[in-house]
Amino acid sequence: MATESMSLLGLEKTSLRQQALAALRRAITTGEIAPGTHLVETELSETLQISRGTLREAMRQLQQEGLISAGPRGRLSVRHLDAKEICDIFSVRAALESLAARELCALEDRAQVIKELRRALEEMERASKDGLEERIEADLNFHRTLCGLTGNETLLHSWGSLEGNIRMSIMFAGFERAAQNMSVKRHGEIVDAIETGDAAKASEAITEHMDGAAKVLVG
């Protein structure tokens, strides 16, 4: 998790595949590569200065994450999202995070969990004064933490494979709109609901939050 805080000998030896993966994911979710663009292996490998084989592995993963889709004859292109798909994505997201909230309510030592969540909130607060990039990151980090604290690895994994789509949704709707969904106060309500330990209440807080967010995004 905390790979960035290695004080001693920070040998960040990450494979080319992972670097390519991160670079492509970023480029796609920021709109640097327009949706619908055909991703030609030979071109990309030339641009990224890596071999096609290595690139292909990264592309497969991106494909699995739903950021790029396969056309006829293995042609890969950046996925295009419409309003309905954004709604669909947020429906699934709501279902997952709602489960997370319910599981957290069932925990005995909720105190520690609440502490972690409030810490994530503080980070959002700090980021609200910074750029858009940081705000998005802090927001996603909050929700990822929500899933991670359950200790349900499968839940975290499923949420993770949705993260790319969420980022695309944000990019697609425009960053101004998306910023409306990152109010610290509205996220605080979720934490409050979880703190009460009332699973139904917490679940509803999440679904409400997501419904609202989706509505804002599709305008």
Where do contacts with DNA occur on this chain (CB under 7 A)? Answer: 15-17, 38-43, 49-54, 56, 72-76
Q: Which of 26, 60, 75, 119 binds its own copies (CB under 8 A)?
A: 60
Selected binder of its own copies within 83, 95, 179, 216 (CB under 8 A): 95
Whether 152 and 97 have beta carbons less than 8 Å apart is answered as: no
Selection from 213, 205, 181, 183 nearest residue 104 by Cα: 205
Q: Minimal distance in Å, beta carbon 199 to its own copies?
A: 12
Examine residue 77 and tell whether it contacts its own copies (CB under 8 A). no
Residue 89 binds to its own copies (criterion: CB under 8 A): yes
Residue 154 binds its own copies, judged by CB under 8 A:
yes
Task: List alpha helices for 106-197, DSSP H.
Answer: 110-127, 132-148, 153-173, 175-179, 184-196
Residue 88 or residue 134: which is nearer to its own copies going by CB?
Answer: 88
Question: Residue 178: helix, strand or coil by DSSP?
Answer: helix
Q: Are 206 and 101 in contact (CB under 8 A)?
A: yes
Phi/psi for 69 (5° steps) reads: -125, 150
Q: Could you list the residues that contact its own copies (CB under 8 A)?
A: 15, 53, 56-57, 60-61, 64-66, 74, 85, 88-89, 91-92, 94-96, 98-99, 103, 152-155, 157-158, 161-162, 165
